[in-house]
Amino acid sequence: MSNLTQIRKAENIARKKRLRILWLCFAVILVVLPLLATKFGLTILTQICVASVFALAYNMLLGQGGMLSFGHAVYFGLGGYASIHLMEYVGTGGAPIPLVLTPIFGGLFGLVAALLIGSFSTRRAGTVFAMISFGIAELVAASAIILVGFFGGEEGMSSDRTMGPSFFGYEMIPQIEVYYFAAVWFFLATFAMYYFSRSPAGRMANAVRDNAERAQFIGYNPQKIRLVSFVASGFFAGIAGGIFAIQYEIVTDSNLNTAASGLVMLQAYIGGIGYFVGPVIGAIVMTLLNTVVSGMTDLWLLYTGLLFIGTVLLAPNGLTGLIMMHTDAYRNGKLSTLVKPYLIGLIPLTASFVGIISLVEMFSHRNEQTVGDDVMPLFFMNIDVSTSEAWIAFTILSLAGIIGLRFTIPMVRTAWHEANEALTLPASPTKQEGAKNE
């Protein structure tokens, strides 16, 4: 037995142990979180579960398989519509199926749709795939308006989740029960998607993403590999659609149009497509923007766009990439040395953020207001946009923040490099676990 075999076996055991702990933590968080949440919070948490499953499914294509889809909401939406039909069927006494199983039905519907469409769209990756996905998305979105029988036209389709037979006394009437229903499916789907990514088909999806030509010369048909990923992704997108259908009891064309497809792409990308958990982080952040921030300001879409552009330009590995930048420092035991520089760096960053956002909000208020309504709430204050004091104050704050950043960024950078340095010394090779592309 070679040395590497022993190392691999030891690493494998450690890995499995670590994974078991992670899964347990994940489950505990899902169980405990709603106990801390308000009713509104509970709705948001449920929404995060749906968005996370969908974003993870999307990333099976983009991150793992190198397929940029502009139309993945099609499978989410079709899964959702199918689920509504199932709920309606069960509700009118068609069959005694417990509705907690709805997502499986949505998933199978998404799977079949993905199999049909994927059979030709996965022939190529890259631009061809992206264009086909966009075309299909437009086609299905248009059909959703026209084909009233299945899609219900512009009003969409609605049903009632409480009409089915109860599942061991579980009827999904209060929101907390809906949350736990979503959380269980979130957990199951994440589990399945993770183990898919570790399977031969999942690993080969990475290989085909990197170099489809070479994959052909080690026995794999790249199209089939892409199709397997695509179908699996359609299945999980359909599951997400099924959870959504249960939560909202209505699915409309806005759930499968290109805007919905764009949103999931943003979520996956902002979270970080190179990491398995990336899309979940993106889904959490975007859902919060979508629900909490949208309640505070009409400009939330602007901030979403800025966040996306900022991610593409400054953190191409997404928010998860920013977190994972610190694994080396953590391994070196130097993470604590970063706290002080980060806190100092946070001051001008916050100042410039508050300053610029305030100016933008005030500008927007001045243009959108009804005449005479000059006072607006902003960061726990009431600001009068007609006077120049506030304008001057926030301009100074922004400038001070930006100037401050010029001084703190090099300091933060140096501190980060110092914290990571020890690893550049030739350590024993087994210690370099490196960035794993999981």
Partner 1 sequence: MNNAISLTDLRKSFGQMEIIRGVHLDIKKGERHAIIGPNGAGKSTLFHLISGHYQPSSGSVILNDEEIGGVMPYDIYRKGLARSFQVTNIFPNLTVYENVRCGALWACGHGYSFWQQVENLEDVNLKTEEILEKINLTHRHNVPASLLAYAEQRALEIGITLAGGADVIMLDEPTAGMSIGETEQAVELIRSVTEGKTLVIVEHDMGVVFDLADRISVLVYGEIIATDTPAAIRTNKLVQEAYLGTEVTADA
Q: How far is the CB of 28 from partner 1 (least distance, A)?
A: 24
Rg of the chain (C-alpha set)? 24
Q: How far is the CB of 125 from partner 1 (least distance, A)?
A: 14
User: Which residue intervals of 249-338 are DSSP H helices?
Assistant: 258-271, 278-288, 294-296, 300-314, 318-324, 327-331
Number of H helices, E strands in the chain: 18, 4
Residue 37: half-sphere exposure toward Cβ, Cα within 13 Å: 17
Nearer to partner 1, 225 or 251 (CB): 225
Residues that bind partner 1 (CB under 8 A): 2-5, 8, 12, 15, 195-196, 198-204, 206-207, 209-211, 213-221, 224-225, 228, 232, 429, 432-437
Q: How far is the CB of 429 from partner 1 (least distance, A)?
A: 5
Nearer to partner 1, 330 or 353 (CB): 330
Nearer to partner 1, 168 or 217 (CB): 217
Pick from 351, 328, 60: nearest CA to 189:
60
Q: How far is the CB of 192 from partner 1 (least distance, A)?
A: 10
Pick from 59, 187, 52, 72: nearest CA to 129:
72
At 250, which helix (H) or strand (E)?
A: strand 250-251
Are the beta carbons of 251 and 245 closer than 8 angstroms?
yes
Nearer to partner 1, 228 or 266 (CB): 228
Bridge partners of 376, per DSSP, are 383
Residues 6+ apart with CB under 8 A from 144: 77, 151, 252, 253, 256, 257
Nearer to partner 1, 92 or 216 (CB): 216
Q: How far is the CB of 371 from partner 1 (least distance, A)?
A: 58
Nearer to partner 1, 205 or 277 (CB): 205
Residues 6+ apart with CB under 8 A from 361: 297, 299, 376, 378
What is the rounded distance in angstroms from the CA atom of residue 232 to the CA atom of residue 113?
11
Question: Vertex 67, ends 286 and 105: CA angle to 5°?
Answer: 70
Nearer to partner 1, 210 or 298 (CB): 210
Pick from 243, 249, 272: nearest CA to 179:
243
Q: How far is the CB of 111 from partner 1 (least distance, A)?
A: 13
**Strand, helix or coil for residue 95:** coil
For residue 369, which amino acid is it? Q
What is the rounded distance in angstroms from the CA atom of residue 148 to the CA atom of residue 235?
24
Q: How far is the CB of 26 from partner 1 (least distance, A)?
A: 18
Q: How far is the CB of 124 from partner 1 (least distance, A)?
A: 15
Q: How far is the CB of 39 from partner 1 (least distance, A)?
A: 40
Q: How far is the CB of 407 from partner 1 (least distance, A)?
A: 34
Question: In the structure encoding, which two tokens stand for residue 101, read together?
Answer: 């199983």
Are the beta carbons of 176 and 204 closer than 8 angstroms?
no
Nearer to partner 1, 114 or 356 (CB): 114
What is the rounded distance in angstroms from the CA atom of residue 114 to the CA atom of residue 118?
5
Nearer to partner 1, 12 or 387 (CB): 12
Nearer to partner 1, 75 or 220 (CB): 220
